[in-house]
Amino acid sequence: MIIGVDGNEANVREKVGVSVYTLKHLYYFQKNASSNVRFVVYLKKPPINDLPDETPYFKYKVVNGSFLWSQIFLPLELLKNRFSRERINVFFSPAHYSPRFCFCPSVVTIHDVAYLHYPDEFLKKDLYQLKNWTDYSLHNATKIITVSKTTKKDVMRFYRTPENKIDVVYNGFEKEIDDHALPGSDNEMTPPIPSPYVLYVGTIQPRKNIIALIRAMTVLNKIHPEFTLVITGKKGWLFDQIFKEARNLYLENKIIFTGYVTDEELVTLYQKAFCFVLPSFYEGFGIPVLEAMSFGCPVISSFSSSLPEVGGEAMLYFDPDNHSELADKIVLLETDNKLRSELIKKGRQRIKLFSWNKCAKETLKILTSLHG
């Protein structure tokens, strides 16, 4: 059996989200390739250094072409392959878009459909592509993988996809940065962040519901004026209103926007934070909550989309439309040390349920099941 894989998402220098997802699968596939199950990874450009090495049963195939690569150049290559002795038996697309024509059974992973819930946060060109290319990918796929039950329901609802066509395979999680950053080390922020502080890590954009977090700070500071809010992450789309809200509530001196931080600095931020808050209206999975748990940081999350699936009983939850409830949960953590300790303990147990090895193993099982 030969499995074809679109490896382009992993073939980039800065890897986040689907790039990490694709890379983890490639490493698992390379490790488990054999004479019975071989892999051909299709790329637009030669593989960069951190992709897994080729083996007799794990090979890269560079297909030249840039514009509409998955629509024209890759399908032409797969068409040629159809008549070769080394014919692809199944094709795997790890990130939404399948080849326009595949000529064999195919599997596609859908990570989220945020673009359907919050279309105003996407450029018109990107929105058109996400809607339409995902549509034909889902229609043509033999099997569909979603990273949460929430995303599965969304795919069924928006694209009218039969339930039996979709398998849920949760993302993995592995702590890959040093968790031994100590206070007073070179990993400290400059200038230092005053404690105690509430931490948010993620893109700054409307669907992340950061405004609710800012408003919760106004309530919290009336009771505990010593608290600061630290917002770490890059600017996304329509972020001006978020900064304006901070100014309007006279909270600028109580909110620190760090922008980009190094991995080592991020470890320190997690370790020293009073708690981590993810107030999002929508998440396809929610990796940051697992990241916070891994560093012993208690988590408060909105009760929305996939977040309860990921966090289980290891987080406190609030209504994302009720910033006062969020403030109450932060106060509860401040007054109940036993609860805080229990959340930290449950969080460290929770992250053990998610591994990239398990994720890729389940994916490979789906791929091999399609070869008769």
CATH number of the domain enclosing 318: 3.40.50.2000
Any idea which residue has 């290319």 for tokens? 133
Whether residue 280 is found in the same domain as residue 323: yes
Whether residue 163 is found in the same domain as residue 259: no
Whether residue 160 is found in the same domain as residue 22: yes
Cβ pair 2, 38 in contact under 8 A: yes
Q: Order of strands, edge to edge, in the sheet holding 299-302?
A: 255-259, 228-232, 197-201, 275-278, 299-302, 316-318
Crossing angle of helices 323-335 and 337-350, in 10° steps, is 100
Whether residue 100 is found in the same domain as residue 30: yes
Any idea which residue has 């460290």 for tokens? 348
Cβ pair 63, 73 in contact under 8 A: yes
Whether residue 95 is found in the same domain as residue 211: no
124-170 tens-digit pLDDT: 888 888 898 999 999 999 999 999 999 999 999 999 999 999 999 99
Strand partners, 90: 3
Whether residue 165 is found in the same domain as residue 26: yes
206-225 tens-digit pLDDT: 888 988 998 898 899 889 99
Q: What's the confidence (pLDDT) of residue 370?
A: 92
Whether residue 311 is found in the same domain as residue 361: no
Whether residue 297 is found in the same domain as residue 152: no
Q: Is residue 217 part of a domain?
A: yes
Task: Indicate the number of domains in the chain.
Answer: 2
Q: Is residue 182 part of a domain?
A: no
Q: Is residue 71 part of a domain?
A: yes
Q: Is residue 133 part of a domain?
A: yes
Range of weakest confidence among 1-15, 78-92, 222-236, 295-309: 222-236
Give the side-chain half-sphere CA count within 13 A for 371.
17
- In terms of residue numbers, what domain contains 163? 2-172+355-369
Q: What percent of the chain has pLDDT over 70?
A: 90
Whether residue 19 is found in the same domain as residue 158: yes
Whether residue 214 is found in the same domain as residue 270: yes
Q: Is residue 55 part of a domain?
A: yes
Whether residue 161 is found in the same domain as residue 305: no
Cα(98)–Cα(121) distance, integer angstroms: 24
Whether residue 103 is found in the same domain as residue 211: no
- 236: confidence class by pLDDT, cuts 50, 70, 90: low
Q: Can you spell out the DSSP letters for 209-257?
A: -HHHHHHHHHHHHHH-TT-EEEEES-B-SS-HHHHHHHHHTT-GGGEEE
